[in-house]
Amino acid sequence: MRRHNLYARTYPALLAKTEIMYYVYVLQSEKNKEKLYIGTTDDLRRRLVEHNSSKNYSTKTDKPYRIVYYEVYLSKTDALDRECKLKHHGSVIGHLKRRIKRSLSV
């Protein structure tokens, strides 16, 4: 039995809710591995397509990008707070880079 099937049978009410999830994500340029982009969205797949379709000024020169990390939040405010910390506090992004260093080097 797959794990998510067990979860669905044990907690069906949780899966019945259609809450919007907010993602804080880190993209890495495949062209320039040193270039990272941090953002927030409620649709991660759509946002990646937008980044790779030159619809974002900040990422259009170093595309294509790939997702190397993301976090999920129920609260938009929590997601925006986390994005702000990652973008503006060097120690926070430094800690994250150390945690995902193998993902960054692939």
| Predicted confidence (pLDDT) per residue in 7-46, tens digit | 555 555 555 566 899 999 999 999 999 999 999 999 999 9
**Domain residues for 96?**
20-104
> b/e per residue, 68-102, with b = 16+ CB within 10 A?
bbebebeeeeebeebbeebeeeeeebeebeeeeee
Q: What is the CATH number of the domain that holds 81?
A: 3.40.1440
Contacts of 104 (CB under 8 A, 6+ apart): 28, 33, 68, 97
* pTM of the predicted structure, to 2 decimals: 0.81
Residue 9 lies in a domain: no
Average pLDDT of the segment spanning 79-106? 93
How many Cβ atoms are within 10 Å of 39's Cβ, its own excluded? 22
Residue 40 lies in a domain: yes
57 inside domain: yes
Q: What is the total count of domains within the chain?
A: 1
